[in-house]
Chains A and B, each alone.
Chain A
Amino acid sequence: MPAERAKGMVPDNNRGDRSEGKVCSLWRDAWERLKQNKAAIAGLFLVAVITLAAVFAPLITKYDPGVQLVWTQGPDAQLVPPGTDHWFGTDIYGRDIYSRVVYGARVSLQIGVASTIISVVIGVILGAMAGYYGGLVDDIISWLTNVIFAFPFLLFVLALVAYLPPGLPLMYAAIGIVNWAGVARIVRGQVLSAREKEYVEAATVVGGSDVRVIVKHILPNILAPVIVQATLGMGSIIMLESSLSFLGFGIQPPTPSWGYEIDQGRQYLLAGAWWWSAFPGFAIMALVLGFNLLGDGLRDALDPRQNVGEGR
């Protein structure tokens, strides 16, 4: 029992350094394995290209995503098909779809990253507590995890968004609050098995506090599955954000958002303007595909079963 564990008996000099050294070697090995995986590198490439495009959006776009060219160029600027001037064509207001797709990546990535951080923080804290303490704490957290899993992801977030005032930070929070359960379940399982390992026992015996043992010794060793889950989770969060925008409950216009663009563009499909919906759709697919390929590759590269005995 944690309460019975000896505390403050021996100073644990340099133990942190040693565990960091081990982690470094694991990451280097993982990177070597990841480099061999063509699909994972393709995924990394997709994610990197879209992220760079989002960061340097003003440098790689000719038009401001909000500028309505109909006001300056008249109806000729409406629904212009893809060409040299407008790579992805224009919408009914004469806005450049390429610019809107590039700037739309900012919203998707912002929500993806921020919501993932929130859900990983909540999931790691609750999962580690459940796995480490066991007993009633585990029962309560596992119960809560099962309850959260019972709700359809999109519906739950929609209901939360319906009650909250519109705004980007609240959307991060709503998605993060709903999405932590997957991380918690994985962390719990990992901590449960790590708790029995000799290095954890050693760290406890020499007087490490519960928090220190979890943060300094257990977490670095269970980081791999959390990273895999977070990477794969990014894909589903981006998909969720686009669904919310498609339904009209995402980021409010005029901020460009891929799901909203698809919804707006579909009304002009019959008029032959396929590009308005098609390109944002390709963008979502590319980014989600990138995270899925990268996540699958990371899982293979970081699979702890391949690392047994390493770093000792």
Chain B
Amino acid sequence: MTNYVFRRLLAVIPVIVGVIAVVFILTSIVPGDPARLMVGQRGDPATIQKLREDLGLNRPLWQQFIDFFKGVVTLDLGRSYRTRMPVIQAIAERLPITARLALASMALAVTSGVTLGMVAALKQNSMLDYGSMIAALIGISAPSFWVGIMLVVLFCVQLRWIPGTGTGDGSWIYLVLPALTLGMRPAALIARLTRSGMLEVLGQDYIRTARSKGLTEKAVIIGHALKNAMIPVITVVGTGMAEMLGGAIVVEKLFSLPGVGRLGIEAILNRDFAIIRGQVLFMALIFVVTNLLVDLSYPLFDPRIKYGRTWRRE
């Protein structure tokens, strides 16, 4: 197990270096001079030149990369071009809202998706099965922001069950609709995967063995079948995090939540490239870490993974 953990940790390092390099390239090579973009078309050459010097843009590219890399390692992502606030502080201030939203959405997606998928598999070819899978298909195909709007119309405007947008007094009730909106797509994916995983597992010999040795149906389903059907679901939790971090941008705009996603939108509108760069990097690193945790949790569900196979490469 230690060997497995060590190998996974080691494999993450080149990806992190790559992420830092891609973010740097993204913000350095693309057409347009950040200094000119910040100052605008009417900026005079002297101001632009001064800004270029301040930002270190007149130095060789490799030197800029080393500075950037050092900054990332020491958690110094520079300062916002507009507010002069350290980028890491700007992100940290907005992070709790996004983190709460993402965790609530994922919790909702996993519980509803697994339940729906499990019920659909156990009642295969019933109306319940068809209903759940049609709902899942719509969940995957409908744009989340549109579903969010429809939820607002239904629950806030028509039924008046839930207060509108914003964070209000910070209570959990304000999180319900954003979490439903953001969690809908992963829930649908998880439901489909759980169903197909369960159907595959339920036909295996060891399930027959478990039943024949007299275990209750509940013990067979929860203890044997579900645990083995969970591997693809866990993978979706990992990849779903990336989608959620991206989706949070849309949901935060829709529900006026001042999270990291909104910070990014504001930064793009204000051409605050330091924030954009910091935010993209931060989100990507969060995703790498989440996936690492997901990878490390695989052996809990499938002990065969502990024994050094290069299973992830293919």
Q: Using a CB–CB distance below 8 Å, which chain A residues touch chain B?
A: 142-144, 146-156, 158-160, 162-165, 189, 192, 235, 239, 242-243, 246-247, 249, 259, 262-263, 266, 269-270, 274, 277-278, 280-281, 284-285, 288-289, 292-293
The segment from B18-26, B51-59, B81-89, B205-213 found at the interface with A is: B18-26
Given A142-B313, A164-B30, also A151-B15 (CB < 8 A): no
Determine which of B18, B26, B145 lies in contact with A262 in the assembled complex, contact meaning CB atoms within 8 Å.
Answer: B145
- CB of B132 to closest CB in A, whole Å: 15
Determine which of A143, A152, A155 lies in contact with B14 in the assembled complex, contact meaning CB atoms within 8 Å.
Answer: A143
* B280 and chain A: residue at smallest CB distance: A159
Q: Mark B235-248, 1 if CB is under 8 A from A, else 0.
A: 00000001101110
- CB of B293 to closest CB in A, whole Å: 14
Q: Which residues on the B side are within 8 Å of A192 (C-beta)?
A: 314
Q: Which of B19, B242, B271 has the most CB of A within 10 A?
A: B242
Q: Which residues on the A side are within 8 Å of B152 (C-beta)?
A: 269
CB–CB A152/B245 < 8 A: yes
What are 9 A-B interface contacts by the 8 Å CB criterion? A143-B18, A150-B285, A162-B268, A163-B27, A239-B143, A249-B268, A262-B145, A285-B141, A288-B141
Determine which of B21, B140, B268, B313 lies in contact with A292 in the assembled complex, contact meaning CB atoms within 8 Å.
Answer: B140
Q: Which residues on the A side are within 8 Å of B26 (C-beta)?
A: 159-160, 163
* Chain B 64-92 interface residues, beta-carbon cutoff 8 Å to A: none
Determine which of A146, A151, A154, A165 lies in contact with B249 in the assembled complex, contact meaning CB atoms within 8 Å.
Answer: A154
Q: How many A-B residue pairs have CB under 8 A?
A: 135
Q: Mark B132-156, 1 if CB is under 8 A from A, else 0.
A: 0000011011110110011011000
Interface residues of B, CB < 8 Å — how many? 49
Q: Which residues on the A side are within 8 Å of B32 (C-beta)?
A: 163-165
Q: Which residues on the A side are within 8 Å of B202 (C-beta)?
A: none
| Complexed CA–CA distance, A169 and B142 (Å) | 26
| Complexed CA–CA distance, A228 and B288 (Å) | 27
Determine which of A160, A277, A289 lies in contact with B149 in the assembled complex, contact meaning CB atoms within 8 Å.
Answer: A277
Q: Which residues on the A side are within 8 Å of B18 (C-beta)?
A: 143-144, 146-147, 150
Q: Which residues on the A side are within 8 Å of B227 (C-beta)?
A: none
CB of B31 within 8 A of chain A? Answer: yes
Q: Mark B220-257, 1 if CB is under 8 A from A, else 0.
A: 00000000000000000000001101110110010000
* B20 and chain A: residue at smallest CB distance: A147
| Complexed CA–CA distance, A277 and B150 (Å) | 9
- CB of A287 to closest CB in B, whole Å: 9
CB–CB B246/A152 < 8 A: yes
| Complexed CA–CA distance, A239 and B21 (Å) | 28
Task: A154-B250, A285-B146 given; name 14 further pairs at CB < 8 Å.
Answer: A144-B18, A146-B15, A150-B242, A150-B287, A150-B291, A155-B246, A159-B280, A163-B27, A163-B31, A242-B143, A269-B149, A278-B150, A285-B138, A289-B137
